[in-house]
Amino acid sequence: MEVWNWDYFFRFLIDPVILRGLWTTLWLTLVTLTLAIVVGTLVALIGRLDNFVARWFYAGYVAFFRSTPLLVQLIFFYSALPQLGISLSVVTAAVIGLSISESPYVAEIVRSSVSAIPTGQWEAARALGMRPYKVLKVVIFPQATRIAIPPLGNEFVRQLKNTSLVSVISMQELFRATDNMIQASFRVLEALTVATIYYLVLTMLWTIIQHQIEYRLSEYAFDRRGAGGSAH
């Protein structure tokens, strides 16, 4: 059997099954990371409350989900919950598992980004009569976002790679689609090379997008400082 076959490589490169798996990987990454940002932000805000129960909840939530392998969580949601009378579809189990598993990492990023804002800004905003939610919305979150974007961008890449694990619950993402091609053709090298190329392309595209976002945010921050300085 020949080691490499270009015909198989180019066939896999445009195979509809693999392209559908690629699309599934992309939307699954975007959806679950978005949900993780929402959940993680809420958890981070709870952790900042001056309350013993809230602090323990935050610490326990982050410790539990960061200490539990994603693979175990996915199998639990898909295979163990039905024994408790809760049956989830493959897509639902994958979305919940990936989102919850990622949320504690996002929570740590958000919490550290918010904590990096000087306390004097909180005090000044409160002295002006702003309510806490208004302080967060107008003063804190815009600055914390610029701090959080780089690490959140890294989480996108990590989440992109994590999607390959949902293949264990039979979700047809890029890796599962590639594996099906391997089982049908026995061309392991060509199929895995195609999958690797697509993962690299997605990562490179996101890197470009992330750099553009960071550049826009830094420009916005510079313009605001300049406007403030000229006004003064």
Residues 10-38 have a mean pLDDT of: 97
How far apart CA 140 and CA 128 sit, in angstroms, is: 15
Residues 68-88 have a mean pLDDT of: 96
The 10 Å CB-count burial string (b at 16+, else e) for 69-108 is ebeebbbebbeeeeeeeeebeeeebbbbbbbbbbbbbbbb
Per residue, the 3-state secondary structure of 125-193, as one string, reads HHHCCCCHHHHHHHHHHHHHHHHHHHHHHHHHHHHHHHHHHHHHHCCCCHHHHHHHHHHHHCCHHHHHH
The 10 Å CB-count burial string (b at 16+, else e) for 197-214 is ebbeebeeebeeebeebe
The answer on pLDDT for 67 being more than 60 is yes
Annotation: CATH topology of 6-231 = MetI-like fold (1.10.3720)
Record the pTM. Answer: 0.89
CB 12 within 8 A of CB 18: yes
Q: Which residues touch 203 (CB under 8 Å, ≥6 apart)?
A: 157, 160
Percent of the chain with pLDDT over 70: 94
Residues 65-87 have a mean pLDDT of: 95
Identity (one letter) of the amino acid at 32?
T
Greatest alpha-carbon pair distance for the chain in Å reads 77
Read off the tokens for 9.
């490589």
Residues 165-222: tens digit of each pLDDT = 999 999 999 999 999 999 999 999 999 999 999 999 999 999 999 999 888 877 766 5
Mean per-residue pLDDT of the chain: 91
